[in-house]
């Protein structure tokens, strides 16, 4: 590897001057163009690339951001990761990606590894995460800018990016209602999952405003589970139960897309076609939703934008610590969007 000293020798200047020129440091104002040219030529000729270890040792900067995902195989992650990657690229940071597998020990080990590497910020993709106050505590004392995607929090040391679950669920029910559906089944999220409550609030608020009765016998809850695919299986089972009950319903509002897929499968098994016999709506707009047969009507989380937003907050946080500014945590709630496809139909 060629060092700055070799460039110095080759160009005939000292390594100081080389450093100043190549970094375009403030002092380089004074250095004549001829000198700069010679140095740059020498650097290029030798194929000089600064040693980032040395640079980081001195500058205490890693130009790296730690990304922690709770479960990569959750389809919800993909687009968010894409958004993160893309924005980080633009800002010239590189991501170290870690997948916590929903395990606390793994979380701790990874957090330690990332901190040891002096990542300049942390972005945590808390998908399908069940309340765990300790994790937050660990994060808070890490003392680097941290942004959490997917969980609303009240801390003011950790920023967050979430969807407006309430508005989304509200819109979903409104859609079904506007199509003429009155007897609607609901599969709610697991009680301990952070998203569950606000979504249900959105549903109740619309129902109340529209004077719609919610039949408690048509309301089922997803069981708690650490595995995102389980919401597919549970969606399947709960829908089977719903059908067995023989209480008529013309539409089903599922907690998320995976649940909706499970529901559609159960419906199909029972000889019920979607949307002819029953409309189904999901939440998230996972990649598979538009590919499904029928294409799934759902409430889209602006996932790529959420990733981008998280990076924006992270970079702002990094700049703040560089300039020794204090910044308060930011809490952004993104607006979801109803995507009408073919799994819902009008009764009118």
Partner DNA sequence: TCCCGAAGTTCGATTTAAATG
Partner DNA sequence: GCATTTAAATCGAACTTCGGG
Q: Which of 16, 143, 178, 319 binds DNA (CB under 7 A)?
A: 16
Residue 120 beta carbon to DNA: minimum distance, rounded to whole angstroms:
16
CB under 5 to 8 A by kind: which of DNA, a second copy, none does 330 bind?
A: none
Residue 28 beta carbon to a second copy: minimum distance, rounded to whole angstroms:
21
Beta-bridge mates of residue 253: 186, 281
Binding to DNA by residue 62, rule CB under 7 A?
no
CB under 5 to 8 A by kind: which of DNA, a second copy, none does 86 bind?
A: a second copy
Sequence-separated (6 or more) residues with CB below 8 Å from residue 94:
63, 64, 65, 88
CB under 5 to 8 A by kind: which of DNA, a second copy, none does 31 bind?
A: DNA
CB under 5 to 8 A by kind: which of DNA, a second copy, none does 13 bind?
A: DNA
**DSSP element (H, E) containing 159:** strand 159-163
Q: Which of 9, 10, 24, 30 binds DNA (CB under 7 A)?
A: 30
Give the integer Cα–Cα distance in Å for 136 and 131.
9
The CA–CA distances, whole Å, from 236 to 264, 292, 344 equal: 8, 16, 18
CB under 5 to 8 A by kind: which of DNA, a second copy, none does 332 bind?
A: none
CB under 5 to 8 A by kind: which of DNA, a second copy, none does 264 bind?
A: a second copy
CB under 5 to 8 A by kind: which of DNA, a second copy, none does 24 bind?
A: none
DSSP codes, 272-316: --TTTT-EEE-SB--HHHHHSSSPPBEEE--HHHHHHHHHHHHHH
Q: Please, what sign has the CA dihedral across residues 157, 161, 167, 172?
A: negative
Q: Which of 136, 132, 83 is nearest to 304 (CA)?
A: 83
Among left, alpha and beta (phi > 0; psi -120 to 50; other), residue 168 is: alpha
Residue 33 beta carbon to DNA: minimum distance, rounded to whole angstroms:
9
CB under 5 to 8 A by kind: which of DNA, a second copy, none does 85 bind?
A: a second copy
Nearer CB in complex with a second copy: 216/271: 271
DSSP codes, 67-100: EEES-TTSHHHHHHHHHHHHHHHHTT-EEEEEE-
Give the integer Cα–Cα distance in Å for 348 and 346.
5
Nearer CB in complex with DNA: 54/288: 54
The tally of CA atoms less than 13 A away on the side-chain side of residue 345 is: 12
Q: Which of 10, 24, 27, 86 binds DNA (CB under 7 A)?
A: 27
Binding interface with a second copy (CB under 8 A) = 49-54, 56-57, 60, 62, 64, 67, 72-73, 75, 78-79, 81-82, 85-86, 89, 94-99, 101, 106, 110, 113-118, 232, 258, 261-262, 264-265, 268, 287-288, 291-295
Residue 4 beta carbon to a second copy: minimum distance, rounded to whole angstroms:
13
Give the integer Cα–Cα distance in Å for 96 and 66.
5
Residue 314 beta carbon to a second copy: minimum distance, rounded to whole angstroms:
16
Nearer CB in complex with DNA: 15/86: 15
Question: Strands 337-339 and 298-300, how do they pair?
Answer: antiparallel
Q: Which residues contribute to the site for DNA (CB under 7 A)?
A: 1, 3-5, 12-17, 19-20, 22-23, 25, 27, 29-32, 35, 48-51, 53-55, 57-59
């Amino acid at each position: 590897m060629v060092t700055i000293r070799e460039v110095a020798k080759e160009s005939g200047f000292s390594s100081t001057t080389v450093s100043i020129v190549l970094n375009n440091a403030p002092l380089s104002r004074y250095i004549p163009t001829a000198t700069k040219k010679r140095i740059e030529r020498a650097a290029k000729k030798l194929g000089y690339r600064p040693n980032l270890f040395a640079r980081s040792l001195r500058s205490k900067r890693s130009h790296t951001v730690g990304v922690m995902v709770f479960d990569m195989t959750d389809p919800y992650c993909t687009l968010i990761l894409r958004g993160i990657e893309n924005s980080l690229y633009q800002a010239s940071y590189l991501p170290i990606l870690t997948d916590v597998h929903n395990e606390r020990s793994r979380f701790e080990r990874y957090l330690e590894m990332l901190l040891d590497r002096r990542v300049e910020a942390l972005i945590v993709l808390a998908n399908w995460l069940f309340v765990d106050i300790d994790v937050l505590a660990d994060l808070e004392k890490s003392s680097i800018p941290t942004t959490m995607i997917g969980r609303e929090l009240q801390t003011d040391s950790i920023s967050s990016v979430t969807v407006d679950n309430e508005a989304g669920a509200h819109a979903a029910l409104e859609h079904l209602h506007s199509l003429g559906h009155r007897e609607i089944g609901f599969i709610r999220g697991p009680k301990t999952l952070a998203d569950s409550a606000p979504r249900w609030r959105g549903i109740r608020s619309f129902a109340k405003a529209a004077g719609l009765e919610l039949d408690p016998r048509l309301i089922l809850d997803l069981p708690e589970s650490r595995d995102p695919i389980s919401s597919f299986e549970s969606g399947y089972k709960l829908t089977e139960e719903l059908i067995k009950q023989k209480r008529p319903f013309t539409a089903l509002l599922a907690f998320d897309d995976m649940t909706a897929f499970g529901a559609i499968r159960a419906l199909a098994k029972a000889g019920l076609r979607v949307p002819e016999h029953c409309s189904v709506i999901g939440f998230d707009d996972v990649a598979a939703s538009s590919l499904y047969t029928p294409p799934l009507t759902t409430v889209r989380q602006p996932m790529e934008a959420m990733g981008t937003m998280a990076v924006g907050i992270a970079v702002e946080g990094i700049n703040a610590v560089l300039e020794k500014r204090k910044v308060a945590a930011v809490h952004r709630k993104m607006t979801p969007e109803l995507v009408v496809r073919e799994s819902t139909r009008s009764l009118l």
